[in-house]
Amino acid sequence: MHMLTKIAGMVGAGLVIATPALSAACGKRDTVVAGLEEKFSETLTAGGMQSATAVLEVWSSAESGSFTVLLTHANGISCIVSSGTGFFRAPESVKPAGIPS
């Protein structure tokens, strides 16, 4: 439900184009990111290469606990693939001394 609210809000504001067949909201990366920053106070938290032509990013808000998973393609189009609430950071993994991993 939270993802639908976020997508509807950003589509309503003209920030992204809804693509119902894909169940995602897509638009130019700069526009989508501006919406996440301004409307939801989210900042880039983590990310990595999803494939040779796409980057997966996690945006989150320490204030509200909301988060958004964004997939950006080589053509500069970003799609919201998931969002939710209750975001938390996993603690750093501590490797015990003398025990091989």
Residue 28 forms beta bridges with which residues? Answer: 77
Write the pLDDT tens digit of every residue in 65-78: 999 999 999 999 99
User: Cβ distance 26 to 48 under 8 Å?
Assistant: no
Domains with residue ranges and CATH for the chain:
2-84 (3.30.160)
Indicate left, alpha or beta for 14 from its phi (over 0: left) and psi (-120 to 50: alpha). Answer: left
Tokens in use for 57?
Answer: 């990013």
pLDDT at 50: 94
Mean pLDDT of the chain: 84
- Sheet with 43-51: list strands edge to edge: 17-19, 24-28, 77-84, 67-73, 54-60, 43-51
Prediction pTM value: 0.70
Beta strands in 38-96 (DSSP E): 43-51, 54-60, 67-73, 77-84
Write the pLDDT tens digit of every residue in 75-97: 999 999 999 999 998 888 777 77
Query: Angle 42-23-8 (CA atoms, 0-180°, nearest 5)?
Result: 50
